[in-house]
Structure 1
Amino acid sequence: MRYRTLVAATAAAALATLTFSTSAQANHSWGNYHWARTANPFTVKLGDNLSSGWKSYLSAASTDWSKSTVLDTTVVAGQSSARRCPATSGRVEVCNNTYGNNGWLGIASISVSGSHITSGTVKLNDSYFNTATYNTPAWKQLVTCQEVGHTFGLDHQDEVFDNPNLGTCMDYTNDPSTNTRPNQHDYDQLATIYAHLDSTSTVDQSAAVPQVGTEQSSWGTRVEHTTGADLYVKDLGHGNKVITHVIWAR
């Protein structure tokens, strides 16, 4: 789900301005979406709304992403119902639940105002993670790491499942065994995304934020489709959107 231009206000415009690639990317930022902040490194709070079996995966993802030179993460008590997992302004809420056999394995949503991220959510669907295919440490770590990475403004490095693994959780794969952590390219991309500073901050700020649910009908318009994943945009007008990455169970 590769962006080279901003998602436009309508699905038709979005489709016209997006360009895609199925090979490893020299640039894998998600548009130019980023948290506004006045200094680096800054800290993103990851709200833990997880059951006990998931907590170690969020902890590992937090540790790995905090190796970035421009951002840190800290796991804090969650503020959401794990079932609905509503967004909280200025932070990321991470939830798991048996959301149903609705096709999706994990979703990451960001609320944006212009190019600035104002909140994020990660939802992990135990209806599939409880099955033999996905109930493995490798799959759980990859999806947790990848969905959290999206909430910082990262896209995928490669979107072809059958390509050799790149050694990063930001890579589509049929075999997650060596794709459970960020790699140096991810850290370099974060340094590029956050090279400039902003005059204001959207990190850890209190404000009303829009919400999307776990149902496909709440995600807005699908603007990108690849094998195993989709991208949706819910346009709220005046530069405000909720953008949702979806990984479908295969």
Structure 2
Amino acid sequence: MKLSADIAAFSRRLGHQFRRPELLTRALTHASLSTPSRPDNQRLEFLGDRVLGLVMAEALLAADRQATEGQLAPRFNALVRKETCAAVAHEIGLGEVLKLGRSEMMSGGRRKEALLADAMEAVIAAVYLDAGFEAARDMVLRLWGDRIGQVESDARDAKTTLQEWAQARGMTPPRYQVVNREGPDHEPTFTIQAELQDGRSARAEARSKRAAEQAAAQALLAQVQKGA
């Protein structure tokens, strides 16, 4: 099987030459385009999630030999969560080569975080099946790059930090409220307000509620820490 020019270019961005190129084609095929003769990437996604987890568990243990399980767990979660997988996928142009059905393509599927994250995991599995664990590990470590070294700062998300700040001062947990929603259904933008019991608040907008909540929490954190 010969890869199309765009998928061959994507393979070069991965840094892996497939002996079985049909694995990469399958990894890039969304369920909206699957047929009995054209399987989708869901089974590969399942496998890739586990391969990614093992790669990151090994990397974290090697990077900090004194860390406890309680310290390692949030670091691990930060590296394997969907948002991180989608960010890596975006950096290597995975969305450009996704094989989507017409309806999914029309609804902006190439930019959807969930689709990008799932396909990234499927690509990891494709490399694993094509060339083994070491090849998959090398690719993952290369693509994740500085994220692994910087994971300590990413592991504690802003919402968790803000909640702990509030609880340490005897306050109830921060409240998050959607104050605005704009854009089409397939690509909405949310504005979220984060508010503390003492009345201090901050707003932020993003393409998902979760991202907007995190951004609002970060803005409110910066506000209260500046005034502390």
TM-score, length-scaled by structure 2: 0.25
Higher RCO by CA contacts (8 Å cutoff, separation 6 or greater): 1
| Structure ranking higher in strand proportion | 1
Greater Rg, structure 1 or structure 2? Answer: 2
| Structure ranking higher in helix proportion | 2
